[in-house]
A and B are shown apart, each in its own frame.
Chain A
């Protein structure tokens, strides 16, 4: 190597923007985050604000009166129908969430502790149906549960029942089952992740100290997996609270949920301000429930 092939590296002073960004790492990060933040602000924050505003408007004849007021909320408070609907929605969502979390826990436990090489494959198998069309999954259930559906005709042709069981479709039970099935993957993943994170040496230490499998589970595994259980609760509870397709497809008149009314108000009933108010109430309910879950988690953790 001789001096002649020395390669001068341009030491041109960087421009003002480059200098600024080099000095401020936080700003560099926010430049990269900006598109995502702008999209979310424009398509989530702004619309939610708009919904909140609209919920204070009112309908006068076919026109919308933009004078702010709490008329929609007052109407909801007065009409017992809303309370019944909200309570029913909460009941369905909570029941289905609870059952799903209980049913899903052993499954997540199995994948976390009793599979080794095929862990990735198991996770794919368990989450695959979830990624595919929600509508089709509900449709499948309609086909299965119908009065003249797969389950009834199957049972009939096997001679197990003599006439179709009517209770299977168009009932609250059907809605709960289908919801649980639809959103189960949302519950599996957080529980699995929290179980997978548990340091195996704790369990070995406990075994070493003479704890049997059951005691090990209740004293170590379960408490450590609680954050995942709470996350599963929230992840499951949110979409089920906002459901309106499943009740329409497999539910009866006694299983309509808040979501159905919201949809109706934005659709056939054409009362958007009232629909917006109901959506706001639904969101507040979800937020409050979420808060309760989180606080419960904090209490249990202590």
Chain B
């Protein structure tokens, strides 16, 4: 649209600022892959030589592979469970008039404004007083709490943007609510739900604060990394591992953010 040409002309200083901002945002992270290919044991300039040794090294570590597997298990459960809980919740928030909706929705979004430390400590206190053993199950519950607000905020705009008369038409043609969900809501909002699954998977896979308090003897991947950070000689391997995780997370989140926007009018379109 040529709507505001002449009014919001490109602003050169601001563009430069934006470029610098993005550079600074990504620069520290960029050093991780760069040094993961460096043959030197110490992470410092000048670079010594190119090697894939640190990557091969990762596959020799049994505890690491176990931690990866643990993280995948937890993340899979977390993404499926929190999405399953988030879908009806987001539908209720998007569709229903109900007394006390705003406070209820606010309560569900509470983890967004609670430090991970507090939530971790509080859950630990509870788990302990119930006499429950720390395990991957407790981590999963902790992660579900963290993921739920994100899951709802991915789904909510989809459901609000999705014309509710589609669902009404299905009910009108005789399909009961669950059938309507299965035949209409789910297929029509599939990209959003997939985005939600990917995002919650990634958040759980990378989550550290809750896992710090709630994982017992079975550690997740971030907990493994945390344990290895004490040994500077392990840094190059950790850099290799981190590079892989970063690529993996970037890909999943990028896909998720892209998916979440499929079929959604862009901001500039809705405002016209």
Direct contact of A and B (CB under 8 A): yes
Interface residues of A (CB under 8 A from B): 9, 25-33, 35-37, 39-40, 43-44, 46-48, 50-51, 54, 103, 106-107, 109-111, 113-114, 116, 119-120, 123-129, 131-137, 139-141, 143-144, 146, 148-150, 152-154, 156-157, 181, 184, 196, 200, 203-204, 207, 234-235, 238-239, 241-245, 249, 259, 262-263, 266, 272, 275-276, 279, 282-283, 286, 290
Q: Which of B246-272 contact A (CB under 8 A)?
A: 246, 249-250, 253-254, 257-258, 261, 266-268, 271
Decide if A132 touches B96 in the complex (CB within 8 Å): no
B98 within 8 A of A: yes
A25-B97, A276-B121 given; name 19 further pairs at CB < 8 Å. A28-B96, A28-B98, A29-B97, A32-B89, A36-B89, A48-B118, A50-B126, A113-B8, A116-B1, A120-B267, A132-B249, A136-B246, A137-B29, A150-B31, A150-B45, A200-B4, A262-B117, A279-B118, A279-B121
B92 within 8 A of A: yes
Decide if B119 touches A50 in the complex (CB within 8 Å): no
Q: Shortest beta-carbon distance, B181 to chain A, in Å?
A: 10
Binds A, one of B53-61, B62-70, B140-148: B140-148
Decide if B208 touches A143 in the complex (CB within 8 Å): no
Decide if A242 touches B118 in the complex (CB within 8 Å): yes
How far apart are the CA atoms of A111 and B268 in the complex, in Å? 11
Q: Shortest beta-carbon distance, A155 to chain B, in Å?
A: 9
Decide if B32 touches A282 in the complex (CB within 8 Å): no
Interface size on B, residues (CB 8 A): 97
Q: Is the interface of B mostly helix, strand, loop or mixed?
A: helix
Q: Shortest beta-carbon distance, A143 to chain B, in Å?
A: 5
Q: Shortest beta-carbon distance, A113 to chain B, in Å?
A: 5
Decide if B124 touches A266 in the complex (CB within 8 Å): yes
B190 within 8 A of A: no
Provide the residues of chain B in CB contact with A262, threshold 8 Å. 117, 121
